[in-house]
């Protein structure tokens, strides 16, 4: 028989419901109560241990139904599930049905021998009879938020027929966070109501504009989906979604392969050895520092003004969105656009209409404070992920918790916990959120050891991108009680860690680390050679960097110079703009590491995806990528611009420094910037401050207008550097950070490649050199095309330099030119990739 548990803040209320229910079936039920707390002064409340004990007392293989009254009763029930083993947890169902009517309906069904699903259905329908007697139309009931929203949408689109298509998911991880975000964003563009279900898993239809509902469908590679659209633009909506599937959500079409098996033992198990999950390769030996972000404690209470409380929650959500946008900008510089896209899903979580409506309803219906309402809906979503059978999708709960905690922190007024290390260390923690991990400095955090996590979590992916060795899932009883400064060693390849390792273990690990370093050194040794094709064409290979530490990595990897120094990092995480002296110190330090190698410094490029609140850009722009950014902002802020130019010029004395202007669209912008540069030169001469009088000035070619007048611009500058990240989005009229259209942004599209060709031809005619510093330069499929188009220089992230040089050395210029000529004649980026793949076979 199905067991039933009643959870309530009031013990008297719960006992009354228990008595009433028992009378309905003459006591022939398995029913337990978990209500109130042992506090004579304040007996109202709930206790997770009580709930666990109540569940255990009525547990059977037939299942247990748990009914709660409100607020923390739900949280206590959710916490109680954690005390059950996995098999038991699957048999326990938390139900949103009304407490009194639901309990009566449920016990009657249970006593009649119904199964758990039938009992749940009876409990959920318990208000039907009352509604009918009161003359309430069933569609007006809002027992479940998603049902009420759906019914109103059904009425809105009632006059339109429903169109449906069926599609196969081909991308390797299915609809994980990023493609799910693209699906939802695409669906949200249309007026039509979009619903989707997983045919393979036989799920029900869910709303297509809810990232959480789409994600918890558990869609993996090969699953078949049914997508239904109802509304005036249903056909257009389905066509857009079909195109999204056809483009594979912008991902490659390889099958998903879990992290490869690694050697699990490098020594017999010894004292102090801990086994965990191999999440990021490499060996680290260092003292530990424990990281524990401050706990967020919330109190549930009754509010008198739900409108004010709802506004308070909306304000916190808006602030969280701004924080995540800043984090996205920083992560783009630190780990690249691809991994930074993780935070696109974080932003969409905060826009999820189902989640927001659920939070609003709790505030208005139960007069709950914002913290309690928000925590409740976040917990519901997190539990939805936890109950999925797919382990990869289960791990997305980390992102849900990360975003949820960010909003809670803002609501309760907690400051963000910053990690400050006095010396390089191994970080020990219960877990790290994606936000935590993206902010780590690999020169200070030598390794990561956590008690939770998995190799496919977003935090692990970011750790691998940063090159930080990581072992996850180790014994919490051991590592969480260690003192800061305790020596630890970890091997991210084998998934093992050692606390105060014995000398023989240290020797083995040190030898392994040395062998790995030797292998890397051998690869870097060839990277220090010039990149020359088989028939003698040399291509300079530079590095894109965003910090002082980056330049050291770049030189070690064979960079022949820096093709792009993103100066925005100097302006982030501070309340005021950096001074001239601060900038001069950094530029000079980077130039000294490079010795006489070229250092191309891009002047401040803010706006669009890199806003800086303290610079007072003003009213938020509807489309910041087409707005007041880059050189436009600097020309309108001459003192800020002059400060940076003075620092660059001062650092140029005795160094090979060049100035590069971003976001150039017109000849007049270049001339205006050169005029300000000339004024700064006069000031420095008058002050007797040395600088390079012949400092080279170049521009970023990243706006189609610049390509169109490239021959005029070439007469004004010493070099071009093509920024394909922005150029691609402007050519395709698609915001590369907007998942709704990001799949259109592709540097290998023939339209973009023709822009690159046109720019190179203008530069060659004018006798200036031209480079390319967008992410396209690091794409192995693009190397032959870019060399064949005639670029003089490619600038990439430091880690990509060795392989890029190898790729160039394997080419002949004649072959590259033939591939480039064919690529320009293709119809799509897909065709270009197929062409290059065919040329390799």
Which of 606, 603, 604, 602 shows the shortest CA–CA distance to 627?
606
- Left if phi > 0, otherwise alpha if psi is -120 to 50, otherwise beta: which for 814? alpha
Residue 773 among the catalytic residues: yes
720 is written with which tokens?
Answer: 């071009």
Please tell me whether residue 68 adopts helix, strand or coil conformation: strand
**Cα 727 to Cα 337: distance, rounded to the nearest angstrom:** 15
DSSP state at residue 579: P
Residue 690: CB partners within 8 Å, gap ≥ 6?
Answer: 650, 653, 684
Instruction: Find, among 739, 754, 728, 737, the residue nearest to 247 by Cα.
Output: 739
DSSP type of residue 454: -
Per-residue 3-state assignment (H helix, E strand, C coil) for 750-817: HHHHHHHHHHHHHHHHHCCEEEECCHHHHCCCCHHHHHHHCCCEEEECHHHHHHHHHHHHCCCHHHHH
From the list 176, 223, 458, 749, the catalytic residue is: 458
Sign of CA dihedral 643, 648, 653, 658: negative
Cβ-in-10-Å burial (0-12, 13-18, 19+) of 80 comes to buried
375: exposed, middle or buried (Cβ count in 10 Å: 0-12, 13-18, 19+): buried
Instruction: Single out the residue of 725, 691, 701 nearest to residue 796, CA to CA.
Output: 725
Token match 């563009």: residue? 189
Neighbouring-strand partners of residue 368: 302
Which residue spans within 397-469 are E strands per DSSP? 425-429, 445-450
Alpha carbon of residue 391 to chain centroid: 19
Helices of type H across 97-233: 99-111, 116-124, 128-133, 145-156, 177-188, 211-215
In whole angstroms, what is the distance from residue 233 CA to residue 237 CA? 6
* H helical segments located in 157-304: 177-188, 211-215, 234-246
What is the residue whose two structure tokens read 């050895």? Answer: 273
State the catalytic residue, choosing from 95, 449, 634, 773. Answer: 773
Active site residue 458: yes
**Contact status, residue 398 vs residue 342, Cβ threshold 8 Å:** no
H/E segment holding residue 163: strand 162-168
Q: What is the largest CA-CA distance in the chain?
A: 101
Distance, in Å, from the CA atom of 778 to the CA atom of 782, rounded to the nearest integer, reads 8
Q: CB under 8 Å to 681, separation ≥6 — which residues?
A: 649, 691, 693
- Can you list the alpha helix ranges (DSSP code H) found in 653-782? 667-686, 704-708, 710-714, 724-731, 750-766
Q: What are phi and psi of 703, to 5 degrees?
A: -125, 135
Catalytic residue numbers, as ranges: 458, 773
């Amino acid at each position: 028989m199905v067991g039933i548990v009643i959870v309530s803040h009031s013990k008297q209320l719960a006992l009354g419901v228990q008595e009433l229910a028992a009378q309905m079936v003459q006591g022939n039920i398995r029913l337990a109560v978990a209500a109130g707390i042992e506090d004579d002064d304040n007996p109202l409340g709930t206790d997770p241990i009580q709930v666990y004990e109540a569940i255990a007392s009525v547990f059977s293989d037939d299942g247990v139904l748990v009914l709660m009254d409100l607020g923390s009763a739900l949280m206590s029930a959710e916490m109680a599930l954690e005390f059950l083993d996995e098999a038991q947890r699957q048999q326990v169902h938390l139900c949103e049905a009304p407490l009194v009517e639901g309990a009566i309906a449920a016990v009657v069904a249970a006593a009649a021998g119904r199964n758990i699903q039938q009992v749940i259905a009876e409990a959920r329908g318990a208000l039907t009879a009352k509604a009918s007697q009161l003359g309430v139309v069933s569609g007006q009931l809002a027992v479940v938020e998603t049902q009420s929203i759906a019914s109103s949408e059904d009425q809105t689109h009632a006059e339109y027929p429903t169109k449906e298509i069926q599609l196969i998911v081909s991308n390797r991880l299915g609809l994980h966070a990023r493609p799910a975000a693209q699906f939802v964003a695409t669906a949200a563009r249309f007026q039509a109501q979009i619903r989707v279900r997983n045919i393979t898993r036989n799920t029900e239809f869910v709303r297509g504009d809810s990232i959480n509902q789409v994600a918890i469908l558990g869609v993996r590679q090969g699953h078949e989906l049914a997508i239904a659209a109802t509304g005036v633009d249903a056909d257009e909506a389905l066509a857009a979604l079909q195109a999204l599937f056809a483009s594979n959500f912008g991902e490659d079409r390889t099958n998903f392969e879990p992290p490869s098996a690694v050697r699990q033992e490098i020594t017999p198990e010894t004292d102090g050895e801990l086994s965990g999950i191999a999440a990021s390769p490499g060996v680290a030996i260092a003292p530990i520092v424990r990281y524990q972000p401050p706990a967020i404690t919330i109190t549930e209470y009754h509010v008198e003004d739900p409108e004010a409380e709802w506004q308070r929650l909306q304000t916190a959500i808006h602030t969280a969105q701004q924080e995540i946008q800043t984090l996205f900008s920083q992560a783009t510089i630190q780990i690249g656009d691809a991994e930074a896209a993780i935070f696109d899903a974080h932003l969409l979580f905060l826009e999820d209409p189902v989640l927001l409506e659920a939070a609003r309803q709790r505030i208005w219906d139960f007069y709950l404070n914002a913290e309690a309402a928000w925590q409740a809906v976040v917990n519901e979503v997190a539990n939805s992920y936890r109950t999925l059978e797919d382990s990869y999708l289960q791990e997305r709960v980390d992102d849900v918790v990360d975003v949820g905690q960010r909003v809670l922190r803002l609501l309760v007024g907690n400051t963000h916990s910053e990690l400050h290390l006095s010396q390089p260390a191994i970080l020990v923690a219960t877990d790290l959120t994606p936000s935590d991990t993206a902010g780590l400095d690999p020169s200070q955090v030598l390794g990561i050891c956590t008690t939770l996590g998995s190799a496919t979590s977003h935090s692990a992916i970011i750790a691998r991108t940063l090159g930080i060795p990581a072992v996850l899932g180790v014994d919490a009883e051991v590592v969480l009680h260690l003192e800061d400064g305790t020596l630890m060693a970890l091997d991210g390849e084998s998934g093992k860690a050692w606390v105060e390792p014995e000398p023989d273990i240290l020797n083995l690990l040190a030898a392994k680390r040395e062998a790995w370093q030797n292998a890397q050194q051998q690869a870097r040794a060839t990277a220090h050679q010039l990149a020359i094709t088989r028939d003698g064409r040399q291509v300079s290979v530079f590095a894109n960097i965003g910090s002082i530490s980056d330049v050291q990595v770049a030189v070690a990897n064979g960079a022949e110079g820096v093709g792009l120094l993103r100066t925005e990092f100097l302006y982030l995480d501070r309340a005021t703009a950096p001074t001239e002296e601060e900038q001069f110190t950094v530029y000079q330090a980077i130039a000294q590491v490079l010795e006489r190698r070229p250092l191309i410094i891009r002047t401040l490029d803010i706006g669009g995806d890199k806003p800086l609140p303290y610079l007072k850009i003003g009213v938020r722009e509807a489309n910041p990528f087409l707005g007041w950014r880059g050189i436009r902002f600097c020309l309108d802020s001459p003192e800020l611009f002059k400060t940076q130019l003075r620092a660059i010029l001062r650092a140029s004395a005795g160094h090979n420094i060049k100035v590069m202007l971003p976001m150039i669209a017109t000849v007049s912008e270049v001339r205006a910037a050169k005029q300000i540069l000339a004024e700064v030169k006069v000031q420095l001469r008058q002050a007797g401050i040395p600088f390079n009088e012949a400092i080279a000035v170049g521009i970023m070619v990243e706006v189609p207008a610049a390509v169109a007048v490239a021959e005029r611009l070439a007469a004004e500058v010493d070099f071009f550097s093509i920024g394909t990240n922005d150029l691609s989005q402007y050519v395709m009229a698609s915001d590369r950070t907007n998942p709704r259209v990001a799949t259109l942004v592709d540097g290998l599209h023939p339209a973009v490649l023709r822009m690159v060709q046109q720019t190179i031809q203008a530069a060659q005619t004018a006798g200036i050199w031209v480079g390319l510093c967008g992410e396209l330069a690091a794409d192995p499929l693009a190397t032959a095309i870019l060399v064949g188009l005639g670029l003089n220089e490619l600038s990439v992230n430091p880690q990509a330099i060795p392989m890029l040089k190898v790729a160039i050395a394997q080419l002949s210029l004649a072959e590259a030119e033939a591939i480039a000529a064919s690529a320009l004649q293709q119809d799509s980026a897909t065709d270009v990739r197929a062409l290059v793949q065919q040329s390799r076979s």
